[in-house]
Structure 1
Amino acid sequence: MANIAVIGERDSIYGFAALGLDTFFVQAEEEVRQCFHQLVGGGYGVIYITEAAASLISEEIEKIKMQAVPAVILIPGVWGNTGAGTANVKKSVEQAVGSDILFHN
């Protein structure tokens, strides 16, 4: 089984450690970038990253999303939700099923 990592601000992700996930506390852009690249090359199958942290390295994340592994999933932080995580899930569902399942008339 592949490991699961969570990257983000301490207040947003410290609870994930209780679930047995590997947590990596970051703040500055360079910390986020170094941690992300280390995890991508470190055998992790899933990397959860807060939307705030992901916004600092969005180009790197887009490059990795072209690969099957690891799956990179954006999650909201304690300081709010930018909607980026929801938009990414919506895009993935549209690609998989061929239509927008959240569209309401």
Structure 2
Amino acid sequence: MSKVKVAFVGGEENSLCFRGMGFDVFSVNSFEALNNILPTLRREKYSMIFSEWKFYNQIKKQFEDIRSEALPAILGIPTNPNEIGQGSKYISRLVEMAIGSNIMLQGEE
């Protein structure tokens, strides 16, 4: 049975808890630093990549050519209040593209 490889990409202040859970941690604080580690993320064939939301889109673009494959799963994590809700907006867009209408509940109406 092969070992599942899981990575976290983000700032040092958020990296400690992921390192403690056994994730491979890539501490980056800029898009330039992120660009330096993207080839490693791809080469090492991670099953899951958790990322601070600010880096999510750039990481997702790196894996765009293998989007139809199941892995890696790339998950964005909000790290400041302005980023909360971004994931649900993304899921709503995917649902709308898939069925032609947004059926996700948007709160009490």
TM-score band by shorter chain is 0.7 to 0.9
Which runs of at least 4 in structure 1 moved beyond 2 Å after TM superposition? 83-92, 97-105
Q: Does the 8 Å CA contact 1:7/1:26 hold for their aligned counterparts?
A: yes
Task: Tell me how far apart the structure 1 counterparts of residues 86 and 104 of structure 2 sit (CA, whole Å).
Answer: 17
Please tell me the residue identity of whatever aligns with 2:50: Y
Distance across 2 between alignment mates of 1:23 and 1:43: 14
- Structure 2: which 5+ residue stretches go unaligned? none
1:100 aligns to 2:106 (yes or no): no
Q: Select the structure with the greater relative contact order (CA < 8 A; seq sep ≥ 6).
A: 1
1:9 touches 1:53 (CA, 8 Å); kept in 2?
no
TM-score (norm 1): 0.72
Question: 1:22 Cα deviation (Å)?
Answer: 1.2
The answer to whether the Cα contact below 8 Å between 1:51 and 1:81 also exists between their aligned partners in 2 is no
Q: How many residues align?
A: 102
Question: What amino acid is the match of 2:81?
Answer: G
Q: Deviations over 1:19-59 (max 9, x none)?
A: 1111110012121122233112211000011012235x267
Mapped pair 1:87 → 2:75 = no
- Report if the CA contact (8 A) 2:42-2:63 is conserved: no
- Corresponding residue of 1:35: 37
Is contact 1:61-1:72 (8 Å) kept?
A: no
Query: 2:18 is matched with which residue?
Result: 16
TM-score norm. by structure 2 comes to 0.70
Kindly state the Cα deviation for residue 90 of structure 1 after the two structures are TM-superposed.
Answer: 4.2
Instruction: Give structure 1 stretches of 5+ with no counterpart.
Output: none
Bigger Rg, which one: 2
Separation of aligned partners in 2, 1:89 and 1:65: 19
